[in-house]
Amino acid sequence: MDPFVIVNLEAYFNIKGISTLKNINSADFSGLGSSYPAEELPKKGVTTINDTPFLFPDSESIVDSLTFDEQLIKLPRGLYKRLHILGAADNGSFREKVYLVDGIKKSQIKVGLTGWIVPEPHYSEKKAFICSMGYSQSEGIVREFKPIIWHQTVDLNNVGDIEFLQLSDNPAMHLFAITLEKGD
């Protein structure tokens, strides 16, 4: 039995953070015109990071990630022991409340994401992807910063039968993918 449940976030995406060299102006991860280089990230599909499968977004689509905007994300109902996230924060590192909803009650956890150009994690994340450069709408290729997508793992402490994940409001926190790990 596969212990992982991959969550498709496409319906919740609200921002484009990955661009190609041919189309640098199509994305703005930072709010200042900078983005991740698609050429150094996986293509759309399942990719495994630190033994965890994730559904990586399509960098060719109009949106490829989401910022925390109080979304209520529908999950396959189940008992889960861990939440795995591929994400990063822009313009700082942040930790926010996230609610796990079982249909009746909410349980609260905290999710921290380190800044995308900060070289070491602030919240015990692991580096999922490290790019050798970033893109800027005003400067083109920028080799002075090395954007990172972080793999954050959060223990859910047996909160119960989860049906939804509700994010808080922090547009500086970005998610590319979520995978849940089943409980025992």
Mean pLDDT of 53-77: 95
pLDDT above 90: residue 7 = yes
What is the model's pTM? 0.95
- In angstroms, the CA 110 to CA 155 distance is 10
Structure tokens at 121: 């994690």
Largest CA distance in the chain: 50
Summarised one tens digit per residue, pLDDT across range 140-184 is 999 999 999 999 999 997 677 899 999 999 999 999 999 999 976
DSSP assignment string, 26-72: G--SSSSSEEEEGGGSPPSEEEEETTEEEEE--TTSS--BEEEES-E
- For the chain, the average pLDDT equals 94
- In angstroms, the CA 123 to CA 104 distance is 30
Distances (CA, A) of 84 to 36, 51, 134, 178: 21, 11, 25, 6
Q: How many helices (H) and strands (E) does the chain have?
A: 0, 15
Structure tokens at 103: 């249909």
Q: Confidence class of residue 1 from pLDDT cuts 50, 70 and 90? A: low
Residue type, 81: K
- In angstroms, the CA 180 to CA 81 distance is 8
Structure tokens at 58: 């399509």
Q: How many CA atoms lie within 13 A of 78 on its CB side?
A: 17
pLDDT above 70: residue 85 = yes
pLDDT of residue 4: 96
pLDDT above 90: residue 106 = no
Pairing of strands 148-155, 140-142: unpaired
Write down the domain spans for the chain.
4-182
pLDDT of residue 161: 85
